[in-house]
Structure 1
Amino acid sequence: MHMRILFLVLFLPFLAVAQTTKQITMEDIYKKGTFRSEFVPGFAGGSDDSLFNPKDIKDTAGKNFNTGDYQVAADRKRILFFNGREPIYRRSSKSNVYIYDVATKKTVPLTKGKVLHPTISPDGSKVAYVFENNLYIYDFANAATIQVTTDGKWNHIINGNCDWVYEEEFEFSRAFEWSPNSKYLAYYKFDETNVKEYQFTVYDSAYNRQYGYKYPKAGDNNSKVQIRLYDLATRKDVPAQYEQGDIYIPRIKWTQDANNRLVVFWLNRHQNDLRLMLTNPTTGAATEMYREKNKYFVEINDNWQFLKDGKSYLFTSEMNGYTQLYRYSVDGKEKIQITKGKYDIADINGVDEKNRLVYYTLAYPTPMDRNLFVSDLDGKNTKQITQGTGTHRVELKEDFTQFMDYYSNINTPQVVSLYDLKKDKATLNKVVNENKKLQNTLAEFGVGKTEFIRVPNSKGDTLNGWMLKPANFDPNKKYPVIFCNYGGPGSQQVANRFGATSMWHQMLAQRGFIVVSVDNTGTGFRGEEFKKKTYLQLGKFEIEDQIDAAKWMQKMPFVDPKSIGHWGWSFGGFMSSLAITKGNETFSAAVAVAPVTSWRFYDNIYTERYMRTPQENKAGYDDNAPINFVNKIKGKYLLIHGTADDNVHFQNSTQMISALIKANVDFETMYYPNKNHGIGGQGDNTTFHIWSKMTNWIFDNLGNENVNKSHVGNAINAPKKEF
């Protein structure tokens, strides 16, 4: 589902000081870019622009085009330029591709038509790509194209590209990998024949059209997946050998040894048994090199790194209760746990094999913070490199002599600094950017200061949260509260970084709302048990925590206990729909955008990871589905969805509406034609419209006498006529 990404993209932030000077408008946030942060490139920014003159890059009609989207071969002899890029799903797109020869300065098209995933081989001699569900290889030297597969067919067979559910839930789209020696191409073949097709209407003509694609819902059939190994010298194509059945292959990765063996990640359907199969690229024969079982599920990520010595690999695992870092030998004889603290690793930043060091980001000193650490590959010495609270987002230089530190905290915009690095010691070289323009803008608007809160739930846990009080806060007044919640497995909204509280939140606070966000049970960076406690009953503990937090807020002397609302998108919309149903005694209004209303309607990889199948876990699916509790609604409910949502289908809202009508419950709804899960668009005004719609609805249905309820956007501000 991964809607936490949406939150990061849609929301831009704030700073300190109490006295309001300028009023934040929707135009400031969604049209003018008033609060835009300054972009600071990292080490790679612009370093390849000197290889070409943009005037030399022309399309087939001889016209120049934007040269900002390109890929450079490792030998720097050729560059691929992409033109007319078309998004497909969340991570996939297709483009017209042009090959530029750095020596001759000539540009030629790769092929006719738009292709997916053009990827130059490590030796720079060839490029592999996907066209109409088939995999191709183009040889630069002789300008010859090899068609690796011929059986590709829409909604039946896919070669070298993911099916919808792998792309969304295993978080990758290009389904092929060059071997480091460029001798082999390993690729996925998806057989979607027995996967059920989902259709929605695209409203684009007098008679419209149907868009159909394969989308496996919870409990239903998946694609059958093969991993194939193509030998470029012999043109032989063999299958990788592993146990067949109802399984997933969430990753393939090559080792870095002289023989370049392929590692196939095998995962059972329950996603609690992971095996790594070390595979011979010539024969496809395999042996098991690693296995991990979990009583809940095994997390799949890209932290697996096979070292250049060819003998060992790094990975993270929750096998000991927290996301820790490990180094195992390929032969299985050496198993080292590098980190051992009770803090989750958020990212592996880089591996300095020469000095046998690994740099990684830890959620430390609290789960809301991020700091850079370094450990040796034997786990004997660990040093903290960045210090204090807040979020350090670090980019290491390739030779590990420097790093860029993009630092912020919840009330301070990003400051970028360059540090010199000597193994485990960092020295400030210079401050690169302090975001002065944004800081001055925030001061002009007198934005509020967010405070972290610790909220007890009824189970004995303490939940992390933040609270933003109204501008010119008066403790003798009573203010309405709006909860902003996502709450999905492993997510985090209560983070000590700039942007966790957005400018939209700031605008609501300026108008007289208390804005609150609480990370419920099931969210991330607090260890495995806290995250996986929701197993088999998504929604139960999560909404109980939100209700507990709302009751805790009701006791505050400055809170209007009858005006507490809940807002969310995607999993957050699921939570908002539970808030207005199961939380009917506490929440008086809810806005649900693109919500899941029953996990029976959602895809199987995400849903079954946490719930198993509906056939195995009927109660888990039905006991916390908002669609089954509409008769509890007492408050106001706004339901918003895009009709072309390929992720959380519009069906979720139509079925919810049918249930609301049957139960004779009053509600409001808004749909956006031909819009996907993000429901966005600048050119057609969609982004501005949806945020204005939600804002005005919240003013009307949650605002009290202490709120400035005049409408935003292009809405008419005249008072409603009373009869």
Structure 2
Amino acid sequence: MKKIYLSASFFLIPFISSAQKLDSLSVEKIMRDPKWIGVSPSNISWSDDSKTVYFNWNPDKNKADSLYAVTVGGTQTEKVNSTARRALVKLSTINKSRTLKVFEKYGDLFLTDLKTGITRQLTNTTDIEAFPSFSEDEQKVVFRKGNDLFSISINNGELIQLTSFLRGSKIRDSKLNDQDQWLKDDKLSAFMVLQQRKEMRDATTKARKADQPKRLKEIYLEGRTVDNLVISPDEQYITFNLVNDEDGKNTIVPNYVTESGYTEDIHTRSKVGGTQSTSEFFIFDKKCDSVYSVSSLQLPGIYDLPDYLKDYPAEKKAREKSKEAREVTFYGPYWSEDGKNAFVTAYSIDNKDRWILSLEAKEGKLKLIDRQRDNAWIGGPGIDSWDAKNNIGWIDNETVFFQSEATGFSHLYTFNIVSGKKQQLTQGNWEVQTVKLSTNKKTFYFTANMEHPGVKDFYRLPVSGGAPEKLTTMKGANEVTLSPDEKWLAIRFSFINKPWELYLQENKSGATPQQITNSVSEEFKSYQWRTPEVISFKNRSGNEVFARLYKPLNANPNKPAVIFVHGAGYLQNAHYWWSQYFREYMFHNLLADKGYTVLDIDYQGSSGYGRNCRTNIYRHMGGADLNDQVDGAKLLVEKYGVNPKAIGIYGGSYGGFMTLMALFTQPEVFKAGAALRSVTDWANYNHGYTANILNEPAYDSIAYKRSSPIYFANGLKGHLLMCHGMVDVNVHFQDIIQLSQRLIELKKDNWELAVYPMEDHAFVEPSSWTDEYKRIFKLFEQQLKH
């Protein structure tokens, strides 16, 4: 038995060794569970004392990531045990004196003394207490429970309810009609006993009210929900939004492969143009015991109409006549530390305006600080409404900081509400992408692509302005998490052909980063992964377009090329860091090995290049963005010797949509294409994304007709592969079914559809990825090499 065991071990050794060496690429090898590459660190955070960095990691390739820690000054990582892990808190609020920390855990509130490390529980209820913060005097914790705000004393645990929101409507006595009022008065005057009883009843009621303590004002929701509850530092004002949650008609996605054996319905989103929620902004003045709304009619330009209505004269005339104010959503207010000043942000529902306004809470009056109007849509780093609470705040009790695309790129500004002076702190053809104000409020830390659109570095800048100081040195992407004491940078860094790793660096310009993790497997390292050249070219409109270029060492005799179209539209992939499209990156290496030239373009609409690039697709997706693909194909032919009759194209989601538009409208340029999880009719997609770019289909049908592939399907000449997950809750399977029916009706026979019954928008199963990319590879091999 011993001899057999040794023999088996002997034969296993070369098998393991060869399995760790990647001599050549194949779809099967690339599309395995991504753990074969190695699992990069993620979710970086610091301990309160700035001595330890925590991160999720999986160097052992277990089923799930574990929590690891490294101590500042060392490089030895340790797995955090379950007991210690449960004691850690990700989200917490620290008081101004940085002595106490409050946080919510399992629906209860806890308070930690940062000097002693002792934690005590403030609440222990079956209700959920959440969103804790410190009062201005730091003697209480303010939190939300249900619909209401409460405060609890740190010293003695006294609990005070601050608001009283009630469901339903206040019941009021109905006013008597003239006849009934006459009848009541007549009977009271006729019968002395009725008069005496009424007087006694009224006196008793008055006395009872006088003996009772003053009750908290009741605010009736009247079918709405309460949101954005904020209390002023002096606790006199509580502001809130009342939201009308409109129930739009949602789409149902059938799930066919289920444990029950029955088809089960997945209820998903509504379509673009459906009924949207609206809200009103209110102030509760506790001192005056009154509630009043803040009128959006104070906003300059509230009646402005969108420019696209010039294409619809009758609709424009009707709106001008009705003169209806646009719906607006308020965020904030954001109070200065001394509690004397506040500002709010407001976004129009049509997303063509963002206002920043000072708020006079006593009167509910607004005064303009900044208005950003965009006839396309408001967006860009630090500006989007979904990011409204970040990258904005107070430097001191008079000065606000914010970001704006006023120059065409998102930059940092300040505004003094006393002097009215606005100052631009950063400038150039690059973007400020994240902003953090230092604890002492003397310095901004920000991430920007200042040196190249495809490089992210971390900078420091005095709040008064000046030349930014670059703190990172590694070329690629530097995602920095600053330590609480602001002495250290935890950097998640990657390069084009090197996945993300964790580094630690002192918060000093020119300091050397120390690598902490080494996540990549030996098998991955054994292949010479290309560093594609990041090139740029001028498109037909004169814009500089960036792209990744993969050149083969030995081109196939037919000199084929493939253009990859990234998804999301507003996303960047021609950069110097490890791509989120890592599977596609490896697939492009495989294509280059097989003699293809591959081009990966950051087309019009991509992120990282400022406002004009972002909005050049307004009202016509598949226009300027597709032109960039065609101009890229021309570049491949003229500069890199590609065969103009052997160019393919592929991509997923927005990239799938673009592939369809390419094959349907530019058949002379693209011989074959693979469209994955594609939008085929933009009227089927969601509201938040689509209405920004194409407005609403009921009011701007022109934009939808010229942007949706289903209307151009008759132009298909090349070979088309379509792949789609059947339980896709983002781009519904309905989209690809509708296009398939259209192709059948048009009698097209040069297409095929591969369906994946258990896949959502982002595929999960390696078997699905493998099947999909084997089909893509087969398509290109058959159509582009002959």
Which TM bucket (shorter chain)?
Answer: 0.7 to 0.9
Counterpart-to-counterpart distance in 2, 1:212 and 1:148: 34
Q: Which moved more, 1:103-112 or 1:315-324?
A: 103-112
Aligned residue in 1 for 2:347 = 267
Instruction: Give the direction of change, closer, same or farther, for the CA distance of 1:355–1:199 in structure 2 (3 Å limit).
Output: closer
Aligned residue in 1 for 2:37 = 35
Partner letter of residue 718 of structure 2? G
How far has the Cα of 1:190 moved from its partner?
2.5
Instruction: Give the direction of change, closer, same or farther, for the CA distance of 1:595–1:551 in structure 2 (3 Å limit).
Output: same
Aligned residue in 2 for 1:291 = 371
Q: Choose which of 105, 125, 133 in structure 2 pairs with 1:81.
A: 105
Structure 2 residue 642 is the aligned partner of structure 1 residue 588: no
How far has the Cα of 1:253 moved from its partner?
4.4
Structure 2 residue 495 is the aligned partner of structure 1 residue 409: yes
Partner letter of residue 528 of structure 2? G
8 Å contact 1:476–1:558 — kept in the other structure? no
Give the 3-state SS of the residue equivalent to 1:530 in structure 2: helix
Counterpart-to-counterpart distance in 2, 1:213 and 1:520: 30
How far has the Cα of 1:485 moved from its partner?
1.4
Structure 2 residue 424 is the aligned partner of structure 1 residue 337: yes
How far has the Cα of 1:706 moved from its partner?
10
How far has the Cα of 1:233 moved from its partner?
9.0
8 Å contact 1:279–1:285 — kept in the other structure? yes
How far has the Cα of 1:521 moved from its partner?
1.9
Structure 2 residue 141 is the aligned partner of structure 1 residue 125: yes
Q: Whose Rg is larger?
A: 2
Instruction: Give the direction of change, closer, same or farther, for the CA distance of 1:328–1:208 in structure 2 (3 Å limit).
Output: same
Residues 145-186 of structure 1 deviation map (CA, whole Å, 9 limit, x = unaligned): 888544499xx966356xxxxxxxxxxxxx555656777664
Give the 3-state SS of the residue equivalent to 1:120 in structure 2: strand
Aligned residue in 2 for 1:166 = none
How far has the Cα of 1:607 moved from its partner?
2.4
Aligned residue in 2 for 1:191 = 244
5 Å matches for 1:384-533? 384-387=470-473, 389-414=475-500, 416-421=502-507, 426-428=509-511, 431-433=514-516, 435-438=517-520, 440-470=522-552, 473-475=553-555, 477-478=557-558, 480-486=560-566, 490-499=570-579, 502-510=582-590, 512=594, 513-533=596-616
How far has the Cα of 1:466 moved from its partner?
0.5
Instruction: Give the direction of change, closer, same or farther, for the CA distance of 1:431–1:565 in structure 2 (3 Å limit).
Output: same
Counterpart-to-counterpart distance in 2, 1:35 and 1:298: 39
8 Å contact 1:122–1:180 — kept in the other structure? no
Counterpart-to-counterpart distance in 2, 1:672 and 1:146: 53
Aligned residue in 1 for 2:57 = none
8 Å contact 1:122–1:181 — kept in the other structure? no
Structure 2 residue 415 is the aligned partner of structure 1 residue 328: yes
Structure 2 residue 267 is the aligned partner of structure 1 residue 225: no
Counterpart-to-counterpart distance in 1, 2:265 and 2:289: 39
Counterpart-to-counterpart distance in 1, 2:587 and 2:332: 46
5 Å matches for 1:603-622? 603-622=686-705
Structure 2 residue 766 is the aligned partner of structure 1 residue 688: yes
How far has the Cα of 1:458 moved from its partner?
3.1
Counterpart-to-counterpart distance in 2, 1:688 and 1:539: 31
Structure 2 residue 702 is the aligned partner of structure 1 residue 702: no
8 Å contact 1:483–1:566 — kept in the other structure? yes
8 Å contact 2:501–2:519 — kept in the other structure? no
Instruction: Give the direction of change, closer, same or farther, for the CA distance of 1:670–1:240 in structure 2 (3 Å limit).
Output: farther
Counterpart-to-counterpart distance in 1, 2:590 and 2:602: 24
Give the 3-state SS of the residue equivalent to 2:33 in structure 1: helix
How far has the Cα of 1:321 moved from its partner?
2.4
The structure showing larger relative contact order (alpha-carbon pairs under 8 Å, at least 6 residues apart) is 1
How far has the Cα of 1:129 moved from its partner?
5.3
How far has the Cα of 1:201 moved from its partner?
4.0
Counterpart-to-counterpart distance in 1, 2:419 and 2:374: 20
Residues 414-467 of structure 1 deviation map (CA, whole Å, 9 limit, x = unaligned): 46443333xxx524265132x545275433123223222234433333421102
How far has the Cα of 1:544 moved from its partner?
1.6
8 Å contact 2:491–2:504 — kept in the other structure? yes
Instruction: Give the direction of change, closer, same or farther, for the CA distance of 1:207–1:440 in structure 2 (3 Å limit).
Output: closer
Counterpart-to-counterpart distance in 2, 1:275 and 1:469: 48
Q: Which moved more, 1:453-462 or 1:196-205?
A: 196-205
Structure 2 residue 394 is the aligned partner of structure 1 residue 311: no
Q: Choose which of 255, 263, 270 in structure 2 pairs with 1:215.
A: 270
8 Å contact 2:233–2:337 — kept in the other structure? no
8 Å contact 1:370–1:391 — kept in the other structure? yes
How far has the Cα of 1:30 moved from its partner?
4.5
Q: How many residues end up aligned between the 2 structures?
A: 628
Counterpart-to-counterpart distance in 1, 2:45 and 2:391: 24
Aligned residue in 2 for 1:242 = 296
Partner letter of residue 773 of structure 2? T
Counterpart-to-counterpart distance in 1, 2:774 and 2:110: 52
Partner letter of residue 190 of structure 1? V
- The structure in which a higher percent of residues are helix is 2
**Unaligned stretches of 5+ in structure 2?**
1-20, 53-82, 113-117, 170-221, 303-324
Partner letter of residue 346 of structure 1? Q
Structure 2 residue 225 is the aligned partner of structure 1 residue 159: yes
Residues 525-557 of structure 1 deviation map (CA, whole Å, 9 limit, x = unaligned): 333333322222222011121122123324566
How far has the Cα of 1:695 moved from its partner?
0.7
Q: Choose which of 89, 101, 111 in structure 1 pairs with 2:126.
A: 111
8 Å contact 1:413–1:439 — kept in the other structure? no
Counterpart-to-counterpart distance in 2, 1:233 and 1:213: 45
How far has the Cα of 1:612 moved from its partner?
2.9
Counterpart-to-counterpart distance in 1, 2:29 and 2:131: 40
Residues 581-638 of structure 1 deviation map (CA, whole Å, 9 limit, x = unaligned): 1132222333333322222223334323223333553322212310101111123333
Partner letter of residue 46 of structure 2? A
Counterpart-to-counterpart distance in 1, 2:230 and 2:770: 44
Q: How does the TM-score come out when normalised to structure 1?
A: 0.75
5 Å matches for 1:568-583? 568-583=651-666
Counterpart-to-counterpart distance in 2, 1:159 and 1:688: 43
Give the 3-state SS of the residue equivalent to 2:526 in structure 1: helix
Partner letter of residue 271 of structure 1? N
Q: Choose which of 342, 356, 364 in structure 2 pairs with 1:276.
A: 356
Q: Which moved more, 1:328-337 or 1:290-299?
A: 290-299
8 Å contact 2:657–2:675 — kept in the other structure? yes
The CA RMSD measured in Å over matched residues stands at 4.1
How far has the Cα of 1:345 moved from its partner?
1.9
Counterpart-to-counterpart distance in 2, 1:455 and 1:405: 32
**Unaligned stretches of 5+ in structure 1?**
1-18, 51-62, 83-96, 162-174, 681-686, 708-723
8 Å contact 1:313–1:328 — kept in the other structure? yes
Aligned residue in 2 for 1:365 = 451
Counterpart-to-counterpart distance in 2, 1:695 and 1:231: 62
8 Å contact 2:652–2:678 — kept in the other structure? yes
Counterpart-to-counterpart distance in 1, 2:271 and 2:283: 27
Residues 239-275 of structure 1 deviation map (CA, whole Å, 9 limit, x = unaligned): 4432384424264341223227654322334433322
Counterpart-to-counterpart distance in 1, 2:744 and 2:414: 57
Counterpart-to-counterpart distance in 2, 1:25 and 1:129: 52
Aligned residue in 1 for 2:437 = 351
Structure 2 residue 620 is the aligned partner of structure 1 residue 534: no
8 Å contact 2:391–2:434 — kept in the other structure? no
Instruction: Give the direction of change, closer, same or farther, for the CA distance of 1:105–1:366 in structure 2 (3 Å limit).
Output: closer
How far has the Cα of 1:502 moved from its partner?
1.8
Instruction: Give the direction of change, closer, same or farther, for the CA distance of 1:297–1:669 in structure 2 (3 Å limit).
Output: same
8 Å contact 1:126–1:138 — kept in the other structure? yes
Instruction: Give the direction of change, closer, same or farther, for the CA distance of 1:78–1:384 in structure 2 (3 Å limit).
Output: closer
